[in-house]
Amino acid sequence: MGVTPSAAAAEAPTGPLVPVIVEGGAAAAAAEVQRLGGVVDLRLDILDGLQARVPAGGLPLLSRVDGVRAVTPDGPLVTLDQVWGDDTTGEGREATLKTGSWLASVDQGSAFTVTKDTGAQDVWGKSDPGNGDRKLTGVGVGVALIDTGVTRVPGLDAAGKVVDGPDLSLDSQADNLRHGDGYGHGTHLAGLIAGRDSAAPRGNEKDEKWFVGMAPDATIVNVKVGAADGSVDVSQVIAGIDWVVTNKASHNIRVLNLSYGTDSTQSYQLDPLAHAVESAWRAGIVVVVAAGNDGASGARPLTMPAIDPYVIAVGSSNNHGTPAPEDDLVGAWTNSGTTARRPDLLAPGKSVVSLRVPSSYADVGHPEGLVYGDDTGRLFRGSGTSQSAAVVSGAAALLLQRNPKLTPDQVKGLLKDSADKLMLDTSPVQGAGDLDVKGAVELLEKGSVPKYAQSFTRSSGTGTLDAARGGAYLTDPATGTALRGEQDVFGVAWDATAWAAASSARTAWSGGTWRGTAWTGSAWVDGVWPAVVWTEPSWTGIAWTDRPWSRMSWRADDWQRMSWRGDHWARMSWRADDWQRMSWRNADNW
């Protein structure tokens, strides 16, 4: 039988403060945490619980509070600095043993192996029923990537491979940063989705000497929201999603990749980020979202917006460094979700090799990400559900070339119906199983398009913008003022009802204006959506034009002085490996 806080009042807790996750009994638990001399850091509405720090000696008392189902020690903060590279099985060295140089066919994390194991290479050999002269390589399908930008490194440098949508990031005001990827995350994902070496002959994509992503002839529509140090506000991401919906016809955008998540403290049925992705879904855009990477520290719900049941939430599979599928397991970092909402399926996410951005934040700070034996120096390695989501986005593009009439619900149904259950891992976290895009295309060939129509409760989008931020705040380094409350980066008041209606109607953008403020240019110019000077004030009331943008560069050491973040951003957001513990939250919470 549980006890009330007052019943335990005579017992004095001892020991240092330790971080915990409390599930159930949020109100009573919060009162007990305070009585014990602890700190409540964040309410977790979805668990009816909270994040807190409690004296070690008080943990037994907290666990006995009425309504509390579990008190789980929260894992220590593991920064992405520690896991970029993540070659714990020695893939790089193993792949160099035969010739002294790295062989993609031996490395279990290479793009060659990923495309082979997921069946993409088999799909590439099939003819497009709409045009017999083309193979199924993603031709004609646009994949919007809302991330940290894309740099035209080899493999993404062919004419038309990447088109620049709006740069909605803080970098948009600096000529030397605009549209490019000063962080290194977006380019890594773009390579997995649709990378293709320009020299790779048509029909010869399977040759391991070339770098080739899942849908090598799809177009990447680069919608940049994350700055070179990773800083971003949820209002910028929502604006990016709305832009994709409004401009879907440009470059036939049928897939949207969102490899991040927030710790929103409100239900998806209210959350504006969830409402935005649902608007995209209903507009005919398949939304693929990373499930989150907090699984190693215990059971965690999916991040927002992956927790929204309409979208495709992707977890990671771990091949443990072998080609045999028998030992594949759910990646321990994958957010487990709850019985109400698990990842929909898995895709490779361990030690995945993609394209490197020299001198980017990740590159400068994480030399361990370089691939051992790679004589070209063009490759970089990382793990996480970010990479897994990118793999599934590429698979979705292949399906949509095969049958452009597929609805997002049908694409989701095909991917789930064809996924392969793990042979030895019965964990429900795997969802439908591991991605098998060859099997999905074979279902289409048999005429087995699932009558898949989702009917979950829709998000109204009328929740708060601040709750959507999940406790992490963009901070102006000049004033120390955090972006909090119901306002966007320009300080414009957030009218949830009016915005939600415009988002649903696909009218949130008018040219380059979103919600009455000019964020970007108004039309494509030679494949680029041009930037504009931000003449409006920031949320601090200080004009954006007063910022010393010309002093900013792509190098991480310069960003230490000029980044748009508080101290907590130094350990947060937009990094490839650990979104759930890192993105969009105050690191002090941990």
Query: Which positions are annotated as active-site residues?
Result: 147, 185, 386
The 3-state secondary structure of 392-413, one letter per residue: HHHHHHHHHHHCCCCCHHHHHH
**Residue recorded with tokens 């807790």:** 13
**Residue 50 and residue 3 in contact, taking contact as beta carbons nearer than 8 Å:** no
Q: Which residues contact 511 (CB under 8 A, 6 or more apart)?
A: 521, 522, 523
Question: Which of 258, 265, 231 lies closest to 584, judged by CA?
Answer: 231
| Alpha-carbon span 515 to 572, nearest angstrom | 28
Q: Is 73 left (phi over 0), alpha (psi -120 to 50) or beta?
A: beta
For residue 306, list its beta bridge partners.
none
β pairing state of 17-23 and 70-73: antiparallel
The span from the CA of 548 to the CA of 546, in Å, is 7
SS3 of residue 478 by DSSP: coil
CA separation for the pair 205, 216 (Å, rounded): 8
With CA atoms as reference, report the closest residue to 212 among 126, 301, 118, 292.
118
Tokens of 390: 């990118």
Which of 547, 573, 574 is closest to 562 using CA atoms?
547
Which tokens belong to 471? 């406790």
Task: Find the length of the chain.
Answer: 590
Q: Say if residue 488 is exposed, middle or buried (CB neighbours under 10 Å; 0-12, 13-18, 19+).
A: buried
Phi, psi (5° rounding) for residue 144? -80, 130
Task: Determine the Cα–Cα distance for residues 69 and 51; give it in Å rounded to an integer.
Answer: 14
Structure letter (DSSP) for residue 475: B
Contact (CB, 8 A) for 22 and 32 = no
DSSP string, 257-276: EE---B--SS-TTT-HHHHH
| E strands in 280-324 | 286-290, 312-318
In angstroms, the CA 476 to CA 484 distance is 11
The candidate with the shortest Cα–Cα distance to 559, out of 174, 159, 34, is 174
C-alpha count within 13 angstroms, C-beta hemisphere, residue 105: 8
107: number of Cβ within 10 Å: 31
